[in-house]
Amino acid sequence: MDKILVFGHKSPDTDAVTSAISFSYLQNQLGLDTEAVALGEIGEETTFALNYFNVNKPRVVTTVSNEVKQVMLVDHNESQQSVEDIEKVEVLSVVDHHRIANFQTANPLYYRAEPVGCTNTIILKLYKEHGVTVPKDIAGIMLSAIISDTLLLKSPTCTDIDIASAKELAEIAGVDLENYGIELLKSGTKTSDKSAEDLLNADAKSFPMNKKTVRIGQVNVVDVNEIIIRKEELLEAMKVQSGIQGYDLFILLITNVLENDSTAIVYGDHFKEVSEALNSSIKDNVIFLKGIVSRKKQVVPQLTVKFEN
Amino acid sequence: MDKILVFGHKSPDTDAVTSAISFSYLQNQLGLDTEAVALGEIGEETTFALNYFNVNKPRVVTTVSNEVKQVMLVDHNESQQSVEDIEKVEVLSVVDHHRIANFQTANPLYYRAEPVGCTNTIILKLYKEHGVTVPKDIAGIMLSAIISDTLLLKSPTCTDIDIASAKELAEIAGVDLENYGIELLKSGTKTSDKSAEDLLNADAKSFPMNKKTVRIGQVNVVDVNEIIIRKEELLEAMKVQSGIQGYDLFILLITNVLENDSTAIVYGDHFKEVSEALNSSIKDNVIFLKGIVSRKKQVVPQLTVKFEN
């Protein structure tokens, strides 16, 4: 039996890394030979979660067709967010909670998407459907992903089923949901030791919108000002990346995880579209976004609609 | 609550029509207000099944945005197989057993695909996951779809779970699987009263392959010769359709449902690619395809690989 690699999106966040681990574990229990890998450096929040529950960091890969013929995708489907050589392997299954775009297969496959807050919420369902018990350590990292993706159950992407899943996983993992949640969110917010590139790349995704490429990064903080004072340095780095990668618009969302608002630094063209789509004005490349914490639900669809009409 | 329309692909076969009905029934039991509709004339086999189990024929529509904002797709996802104005409505969910291609959403959605023989096999799972009982009449038409899509459990697309589902549904519907199956398959094979256009359009789908458009129709028979003797008439109709619609290649699969082989009539360019992809030679526009009964599994992937390399 040939090995199958399982991975989340590039610039992996906690859900991308841990859903690969939890889904790989499930598939192995069902008799397959899979390995979870990551498509980029494991961030601080994810490292905190893996260490807390004594789970090994997955291997980082940049290509997959040199070692396997088949893969399983978690927490993404769009090819520009996936591994470089995705066209050279067969996608056997996808578990995701995002829109579907730029995804194509030659053969029928397993595809399981639900509009919930976190991929691991869907994976918990899959464990139950297959009658597989979630081990304590896996429960801990799955819980961490739900906390991370929903900002401790407060994001507008959070559904009742995410809340129920988080409670159930906290019970199995043996942690207090609220206390562990705040500790986890804070672990990912230290920015003073990070370069502008680190901040831009930490959790960034590209979205094609009507022939334009929109790059949207997100960084979680407990104090927005520690990023805003570095605006000029960040704009310079956004300019360099946009020149190399051809981004038409670059947005860095700076999200206050305790207050559940964001401020964004914007570089490139299309400021008018951004202002209109997000209902707020841009001043000196900065826009305040009251109540906005979810790129997927509160930023990408609004920009997509604006760009495509 | 706004009404939601549920439908299968254009040129609907038994699975496309009945999966819309069975999925709509499930969604209504779960509290939504949905209606199953069809994107084209209901064929003879489907009519036989609906009449046998006393289920009303769904309404036929050609557009949907004039009456609803949201839709659910069953048994297809590719936009060229869907309703004309699919871009104008929101797709809330998809249940399918085909490859994914030419499908894109702005928002996260429910997407449930599995590589099984029939959409209704997946829908039966969904009934169980939601704890909804399958009524006798719905079980009958779901069973009919499995028989139709798997040629009475003999197609290579048929999986163990299709077989188990068919047995379970036959029990609920109160019919003998084998006897009813043969009766159903024969009901769809009467071709003498059909025009060449009827035969070409009865179950035809378009597939974009590396900038070419490949049209593949399929007709089930108990005697292949009754179609082959009409070859010139069919080629003339294929020529007319190809001219109007811009098909680069048109294949009509004539499948013997009792012997599980097909013969195909081929029109257009790319005969060399067809021969190589399907491992058989074309003589006077006719190719014999031993053991081939599944367009999805035995024809489309092979042609896709050939065209894209």
From CA A30, how far away is CA B22, in angstroms rounded?
Answer: 30
Pairing type for strands B90-96 and B249-256 reads unpaired
Cα A119 from chain centroid? 10
Interface membership of B102 toward A (CB under 8 Å): yes
From CA B81, how far away is CA B260, in angstroms rounded?
Answer: 26
> Is A308's pLDDT higher than 90?
no
Residues of B in contact with A114 (CB under 8 A): 108, 110
Q: What percent of chain A has pLDDT over 70?
A: 100
- The architecture of the domain spanning B196-308 is Roll (3.10)
Bridge partners of B261, per DSSP, are B256
A43 touches A203 (CB < 8 A): yes
Tokens of A29: 């229990």
> Is A194's pLDDT higher than 80?
yes
Name the band, by pLDDT with cuts 50, 70 and 90, for residue B73.
Answer: very high
What is the pLDDT, as a whole number, of residue B258? 83
Bridge partners of A280, per DSSP, are none
For residue B252, give the H/E element and its range.
Answer: strand B249-256
> Is B1's pLDDT higher than 80?
no
In 3D space, the residue among B117, B116, B126, B122 whose CA is nearest the CA of residue B26 turns out to be B126
What is the pLDDT, as a whole number, of residue A67? 97
Interval B207-223 mean pLDDT: 93
Interval A102-117 mean pLDDT: 95
Find the residue in B nearest to A302 (Cα).
Answer: B106
Name the band, by pLDDT with cuts 50, 70 and 90, for residue A258.
Answer: confident
Angle, CA of A307, B3 and B7, to the nearest 5°: 80
What is the pLDDT, as a whole number, of residue A263? 97
In 3D space, the residue among A303, A210, A234, A295 whose CA is nearest the CA of residue A9 turns out to be A295
Asked if B115 lies within 8 A of A106 by C-beta distance, the reply is no
A62 touches A82 (CB < 8 A): no
The boundaries of every CATH 3.10.310.20 domain in chain A are 196-308
> Is B111's pLDDT higher than 90?
yes
Angle, CA of A10, A15 and A17, to the nearest 5°: 55
Q: Nearest CA to CA, how far is A139 from chain B (Å)?
A: 22
What is the pLDDT, as a whole number, of residue B190? 85
pLDDT in tens, A203-226: 899 999 999 999 999 999 988 999
The boundaries of every CATH 3.90.1640.10 domain in chain A are 4-187
B92, B111, B114, B162: best to mutate for the A interface, most A CBs within 10 A: B111
Tokens of B148: 């139709």
What is the pLDDT, as a whole number, of residue A222? 86
Mean pLDDT, chain A, whole residue set: 95
In 3D space, the residue among B13, B67, B15, B8 whose CA is nearest the CA of residue B39 turns out to be B8
Report domain A4-187's class.
alpha beta
Name the band, by pLDDT with cuts 50, 70 and 90, for residue A297.
Answer: confident
Alpha-carbon distances, residue A194 vs A171, A182, A202, A227, B275 (angstroms): 35, 21, 10, 10, 59
pLDDT in tens, A263-293: 999 999 899 999 999 999 999 999 999 999 9
Asked if A108 lies within 8 A of B296 by C-beta distance, the reply is yes
What is the pLDDT, as a whole number, of residue B49? 98
What is the pLDDT, as a whole number, of residue B297? 87
For the beta sheet containing B70-74, the strands, ordered from the edge strand earlier in sequence to the opposite edge, are A59-60, A34-38, A4-7, A70-74, A90-96, A110-113, B110-113, B90-96, B70-74, B4-7, B34-38, B59-60
Name the band, by pLDDT with cuts 50, 70 and 90, for residue A1.
Answer: confident
Asked if A296 lies within 8 A of B112 by C-beta distance, the reply is no
Residues of B in contact with A115 (CB under 8 A): 107-110
Count of alpha carbons within 13 Å of A5, Cβ hemisphere only?
25
What is the pLDDT, as a whole number, of residue B115? 96
Residues of B in contact with A297 (CB under 8 A): 108
Q: Nearest CA to CA, how far is B288 from chain A (Å)?
A: 23
pLDDT in tens, B17-65: 999 999 999 999 999 999 999 999 999 999 999 999 999 999 999 999 9
> Is B202's pLDDT higher than 90?
no
Buried b (16+ CB within 10 A) or exposed e, B69-83: ebbbbbbbbbbebbb
pLDDT in tens, B132-171: 999 999 999 999 999 999 999 999 899 999 999 999 999 9
Q: What percent of chain A has pLDDT over 90?
A: 90
Ramachandran area for residue A213 (φ above 0: left; ψ -120 to 50: alpha; else beta): beta
Whether ipTM > 0.90 holds is: no
Residue ranges of the binding site of A for Mn(2+): 9, 13, 15, 75, 97, 149
What is the pLDDT, as a whole number, of residue B307? 92
What is the pLDDT, as a whole number, of residue B195? 95
Bridge partners of B20, per DSSP, are none
Bridge partners of A252, per DSSP, are A217, A265
Tokens of B191: 């071709």
Residues written for chain B: 309
Size of interface A-B (CB pairs under 8 A): 75
Asked if A110 lies within 8 A of B107 by C-beta distance, the reply is no
